[in-house]
Structure 1
């Protein structure tokens, strides 16, 4: 299941409130020792497949896997993982011996005026990049030192500690950009099935439309591709292979189905239905509906009522 995870969600899931001393800062940063944080609430270490509202850099120690829409990365020892708010993923531990450290930070922690850095322009945070890196013994020592230093600085009273922490995060980023990523282990069939399942889940989560104040968020093939962090042409190719239909066709069928339900089962006027389904104007919706069904919205509503 794809979810959106906010900072509040993160802290609540791990049995803690958003720290006041950090919340008052411009931007948000924190660093954790994995084994001291997980399992506080429900005893699970599995991270849900989600799009997070923050960046995350993790030093993973243990056997696990990182699942993305189009690939699965197998982690067999020490690895460095970079996560961006734009790309949902799921981390799944495969044994009980999971340790390491990670830091989280919001985009405004690296506000360009403060840092001179635009995170989404860095190669490591680009869609299609595989941001999981195996670490050698020497690299583990260096990475652990950076994380331990972050942890110490978080407890310090140094006036410019957040500037120092930004520099340490950048050191991790540049370190990762010099490493070779782990290869994706999913075969094409498994990747296609996963993309299809995630697409269908996203599509169905848009419905039902239950209020005239609700508005469909994802309307186009590109909207879905962006949410899944895959290229729109790749998404279309996968769905065509699995279903025989294009992305646009699948979306249109589901939107038309919902339009029929709203026309038959509510007293909303056509303009309200048009707006709720994400159309820019009433005429656009009427033309769309007639193309899909051969009826105008009003004619369809009156059909079988004579």
Structure 2
């Protein structure tokens, strides 16, 4: 906790700190879905300010309340879709809840079960602040069909549960894009600080795509990301830290370990090749880096993954 605010990596962690039930929230895949009316029984409810490390979609069929992101407070009403991504401080307030579904997921889930280049097709996921979008009743009905199927799979026990959920999430993202993100360009939304954050997120995604695809073999430093936006490195560092709660070095480390985990799930890739693809000159350097940021070696991560899949 910093400055009286909760810093959380998962929805389960947030609910635990708010004293809410968590038995129905899985942790392993990094994906959750549930109906808020099953959790929030005593209304009105106002959360503590918190900073999450996950993406979320809120599908509000019948409810009323408010969401606050940094200094912006949005009213959320029926037939509304609300999206947030990792980073900003926020508060949620509920006055009425009758039918509201919340989906959360981390980048690891996107990379493993949705698409390894998901931001290319769904650039709106990089947006820092997106106002709630009201749909027609027909549009919301189609969205509802999809999240209902996702919820059914989530509560089920299929051997392919996460893969099925990933496929349904693609369909859901396509519908959301069709309804209100066709013309979306993250560069033109938000204030100066927001634009810098969005540019940085795009640059780090693009650079790691280039690394993995062999277009470059050198990892960017903090200075390189500053140069891409023609900013002083101290200014960029200050903006990213204040707007997202993470340093640029933390963003780079999280991105590198996420991409490494995805590649470690491919038995056709040696650890030496994975290290090279991520810009590490020595395999031992990569192994030490990975263990430093995940508390487990690449070899052990791979063993655990395939033990879980068997």
Give the alignment's TM-score, normalised by structure 1: 0.52
**Deviation of the 1:151 alpha carbon:** 1.6
Q: Which has the higher contact order (CA 8 A, sep 6+)?
A: 1
Which of 9, 14, 17 is 1:10 aligned to? 14
**Deviation of the 1:36 alpha carbon:** 0.3
Whole-angstrom CA distance in 2 between matches of 1:45 and 1:149: 28
**Deviation of the 1:228 alpha carbon:** 5.0
Q: Deviations over 1:197-228 (max 9, x none)?
A: xxxxxxxxxxxxxxxxxxxxxx9443443245
Give the alignment's TM-score, normalised by structure 2: 0.51
Whole-angstrom CA distance in 2 between matches of 1:131 and 1:118: 25
Q: Deviations over 1:211-261 (max 9, x none)?
A: xxxxxxxx944344324549xxxxxxxxxxxxxxxxxxxxxxxxxxxxxxx
CA RMSD of aligned residues (A): 3.3
1:155 alignment partner in structure 2: 155
Which of 231, 236, 239 is 1:225 aligned to? 239
Which of 13, 29, 32 is 2:31 aligned to? 29
Q: Judge conservation of contact 2:66–2:92 (CA < 8 Å) in 1.
A: yes
5+ residue gaps, structure 1, are 182-190, 196-218, 231-306
Matched, 1:140 2:145: no
Q: Judge conservation of contact 1:69–1:228 (CA < 8 Å) in 2.
A: no
**Deviation of the 1:58 alpha carbon:** 0.9
2:268 alignment partner in structure 1: none
Larger Rg: 1
Whole-angstrom CA distance in 2 between matches of 1:134 and 1:228: 30
Whole-angstrom CA distance in 1 between matches of 2:75 and 2:66: 5
Say which SS state the counterpart of residue 96 (structure 2) adopts.
Answer: coil
CA distance 1:226–1:131, change in 2 (3 Å): farther
